[in-house]
Structure 1
Amino acid sequence: MPHLVILYTANLDAPADQGGTDMSALCRRLADEMLVQRDEAGGNVFPPGGVRVLAYPAPHFAVADGGAAGRAAGVPGEYAFVYLHLRMARGRSAAVQQGVGRALEAVCKAHFASQLASRPIGVTLQIDEGPEVFDAKNSSLHPLFRKN
């Protein structure tokens, strides 16, 4: 943990001049933002070896009314949607959780600024935390970030 999973309408995989965006770049920006988050004591909010950002396009989707309201308003193109879900383990304060949410939202707003200005798109970010009923971790990543 933490894992940030992004589900999005596959029409966002189109070239930028057709209303699409670079989802790999968004993943990197979000991971980088997660890595710089600090708690009240100045420590990492998230362990560097635990940060995961994964994006999955939905090739089959239906959003709202399928574009009818947009066409009626003179806005061309089909709707798009992005759902970002950050799951983190328990133990972080409400202030830290809110700060992380605001920071990740800022990354999303900047990344999707052109789409938000030019096409019908929804972007939702939700954060939740445990309790986990089972939590097994097997990783050779974490030792890379331990200080000797």
Structure 2
Amino acid sequence: MPHCVILYTPNIEPKTDLGALCRKLADTMLTVRDEAGKQVFPTGGVRVLAYPAAHYAVADGKGDYAFVYLNVRMGAGRSAAVQKAAGDRLMEVAKEHFAPIFEQAPIGITLQIDESPGQVYDGKHSSLHPLFNK
């Protein structure tokens, strides 16, 4: 179930490669381990998707402000330390990726991790997981 959804203001598209950011985040998710050394984000479940906002307003609107929101969904059961470590690592990837923009223009980045303890329905159908569960 691990996913990372990126919502962003489209004014950053000419300044960076968002496809590359998606790949970097996915690769980082694949390296996160829990206290027992077990992979936190199953390979077949890692998905990073990026969407530009069709309409947006940032701050006072008097500048060419950019904003990026990353939301990571994680299944229940990971410790607070593992959640924080995953967030810290993913935020470092985002900060490194957007560092050149920070030098040129105002930009804000928010990364949140949500845990899904109270799901009422979680339907899945995939031929991806069997590729990596061998």
The whole-number CA distance in structure 2 between the counterparts of 1:27 and 1:51 is: 11
Which of 11, 32, 38 is the equivalent residue of 1:37?
32
Structure 2 counterpart of 1:93: 79
Q: Post-superposition, which runs of at least 4 consecutive aligned residues in structure 1 deviate over 6 A?
A: none
Structure 2 counterpart of 1:21: 16
The whole-number CA distance in structure 2 between the counterparts of 1:8 and 1:84 is: 9
Give the CA deviation at 1:97.
0.4
Structure 1 counterpart of 2:115: 129
The whole-number CA distance in structure 2 between the counterparts of 1:61 and 1:94 is: 33
1:143 maps to a residue whose letter is P
Which of 105, 123, 128 is the equivalent residue of 1:119?
105
Q: Percent identity?
A: 66
Q: Can you give the 5+ residue segments of structure 1 that lack an aligned partner in the other structure?
A: 15-19, 71-77
Give the CA deviation at 1:53.
0.3
**1:140 and 2:127 aligned:** yes
**1:108 and 2:103 aligned:** no
The whole-number CA distance in structure 2 between the counterparts of 1:89 and 1:133 is: 13
TM-score (norm 1): 0.87
Give the CA deviation at 1:59.
2.9
Give the CA deviation at 1:60.
1.7
RMSD over aligned CA atoms reads 0.9
Give the CA deviation at 1:117.
2.0
Give the number of the structure whose alpha-carbon radius of gyration is greater: 1
TM-score (norm 2): 0.96
